[in-house]
A = this chain, B = another copy of it.
């Protein structure tokens, strides 16, 4: 029978030498674990000797404790009557602010949703969602580049009907946009990634589950409708066995239709909004934790200046353990050994890589043109640029594989423009998270409802009934086209020439 502790006794173990924490009413000795914690020892030590449940819960999926701690590290349970009643301040805990109930119908667009969510969620969550690389140039350009494209509405076309349905990798969906893999959803609302799945079910939308989700994949798809489509995002771990185990788990989830291998962030970008939150932000999921290979973080000659002192921000912590040594030659074959699901490569940012990916069809079935929401390398090109680059140099890519895009989508007109340029699917990341922040699963549904209505209005005013009718004749891209790369393009011995 488990021993019962008084809070006063737990409170004594508040040092690196003896570090106990209370989680969900149980008492753990994590002294040996602190050095392995992907978020660094510091964040655990800040909570040493206290009840850490509030900080731990929203960013660790169930099973995390069991996977990372040995049974004997669970010492017993806490006597709840001994717990102090003093409340922590929101600043300390990073908890959600309560701004009262939100009238979701009064939110007319995704900016409205973001504004409300910004008031509702904790500063830590906001910083993690909002942040992007360096000066946010790519993040902002992701959106404004859509505004540089003009639409070409046609008249005297019967637009009584409008059908937004399409398919992704042969799977039928009702919307041409989907929810991108977005981590840490429970930071925004307890509904978490499950809530996103619920909203997607309501609208027939696809969802890609983040490897860094705050719920397990099993929880997320638990209440899926028949035919509801999911993908699962893979960050290959330095310890490949961890990734292989996850791929095995996917085999048991029939709604998961593909593996989305993320390639646009082999090392974390520099997200300063997130880093400035580091005191609270480093409470991060244990699951990504792996070996600490110093050769990765710093291999230049003056390596004596040492490894990074602190992992800064939620974003950087999530990368801990992610493999940086993926290659065309080694990774795809390894992946084929461990999953039969189609592969989607996320993070393509040049026509060269789009072309290379297309050579791996049909194993690779789709690519996602993405600069990671501007969160990886600042001044990386927006997906619109890469779409136009592919059209210019190697349009055959569109025939070989599906091309999806994400980043910067805020309006139905943005969705339609991406489709006109050749995208088959359009991913929404922050929009879904801010929807969750604004109103849980209903907030996500509101985001999908707004975008669906805007998409339909746009299609109707263009005189288009079905997604597959959209094309370059519906948009004027001249302002963007003159900025598209026209430098050298050499690949496997052959030189690409611009075909436009």
Contact = CB atoms under 8 A, between A and B. Distances in A.
Interface of A: 105-106, 108-109, 134-135, 137, 147, 149-165, 174-175, 202-204, 263-270, 272, 275-276, 293, 295-296, 298-302, 305, 308-310, 324-328, 331, 345, 347-350, 352-353, 356, 371, 376-381, 385, 411, 413, 449, 452-454, 456-458, 460-462, 471-473, 475-479, 482-490
Contacts of A379: 147, 149-151, 413
Given A108-B276, A156-B328, A475 B487 contact: yes
5 contacts: A106-B276, A152-B381, A164-B301, A305-B449, A377-B461
A153 B476 contact: no
Contact of A300 (B165, B301, B477): B165
Contacts of A331: 156
B163 A301 contact: yes
Contacts of A327: 156-158
List the 3 closest pairs (A to B, CB-CB), nearest first.
A155-B263, A476-B485, A377-B461
A484 B376 CA distance: 30
A299 B162 contact: yes
A349 B152 contact: yes
A138 B371 CA distance: 28
Contacts of A159: 266-267, 324-325
A489 B152 CA distance: 12
The listed residue with most B CB atoms (<10 A of its CB), out of A298, A324, A476, A479, is A476
A156 to B, nearest CB: 5
A489 B473 contact: yes
Contacts of A296: 160
The listed residue with most B CB atoms (<10 A of its CB), out of A135, A302, A348, is A302
Nearest to A165: B301
Contacts of A108: 270, 272, 275-276
A472 B296 CA distance: 26
Contacts of A352: 154
Given A457-B377, A487-B472, A202 B305 contact: yes
